[in-house]
Amino acid sequence: MVACAALDVAREPEILLRILWITAFAWMAFALPAAAKEVALDVGHSIATQGALSARGVPEFEYNLALAGEARAALERAGLGVRVIGAAGDTQDLASRPRLAKGADLFISIHHDSIKERLLQVWQPNGEPQRHNDSVSGFSLFVSRENPRFASSLACASAIGRALRAAGFVPSRYHADPVLGESREFADEPNGVHFFDRLAVLRHAAMPALLFEAGVIVNRVEELRMREPGVKRAIADALVQGVRECLN
């Protein structure tokens, strides 16, 4: 009897502890949020192929890198996972970019826009000839119908365009223009989303994917706006808002 009583006394706290552990685990399973969604941010172009040249002669890659950094910070603040692709400037193979994003929930390629070469005019901002065109401005978004997750890609692009508009940014219409642009068909006109089916980074992505032209850097006024920290932050915040809306 004594032995048995001693045994019971000794086991009671142990059983109690087990119950506590089981309760705690059950609570954690329900209380913990689902794994954070991950966004792959692709920095458009590279050091060797720098994309457009701005009205003041700054390579597009530099603008893309700066905005990707801002977007990364904003997404992380919102509790989302972020994977930045091409930040070192050595990624030249377009198909490798979506491959590097494997496992992410969304692929966003970040760019800044220009216009056809023949529509650029020469000016001398610092004694050096540079080229500009102030007649085009605004953001553009592109999705590919060859992406296996086209519907989700469009939903995300539309949500981002909507959030940008709510923040006061204006979608560009010039890609749809037959003279200034390339008669590119709208996928969602009010929110500035176009079809661009053959875009390599979008069609090779296994996850929803979109390409974002944040602004036109051959426009002399818009280029200066794209440099402003407050503007970059506002774009990044709109990006986060759109991403959260479409990934939920």
CA distance 225 to 12: 69
Stretch binding Zn ion (CB under 5 A), from 34-42, 107-115, 197-205, 230-238: 107-115
What is the pattern of x (binds Zn ion, CB under 5 A) and - over residues 46-65? -----x--------------
CA dist 89 → 19, 43, 85, 139, 208 (Å): 54, 8, 9, 23, 24
Q: Give the whole-angstrom CA distance, residue 89 versus residue 78.
A: 26
Asked if residue 215 binds Zn ion (CB under 5 A), the reply is: no
CB of 174 to Zn ion, least distance (A): 15
Print the binding letters for residues 150-189 with Zn ion: x by CB under 5 A, - otherwise: ----------------------------------------
Q: According to the binding rule CB under 5 A, does residue 204 interact with Zn ion?
A: no
Per the DSSP assignment, residues forming a β-bridge with 193 are 141, 188
**CA–CA distance, 215 with 114 (Å, rounded to integer):** 9
Residue 111 near Zn ion by CB under 5 A: yes
Shortest Cβ distance from residue 73 to Zn ion (Å)? 22
Q: Which span (81-89, 90-98, 106-114, 178-186) binds Zn ion, by CB under 5 A?
A: 106-114
In whole angstroms, give the CA distance from residue 106 to residue 85: 13
Residue whose CB is less far from Zn ion, 67 or 80: 67
Under the criterion CB under 5 A, does residue 44 sit at the interface with Zn ion? yes
- Our CB check for Zn ion shows the closer of 46 and 158 to be 46
- What is the DSSP annotation of 179-221? TTS--PPEEETTTTEEE-TT-HHHHT-SS-EEEEEEEETTSHH
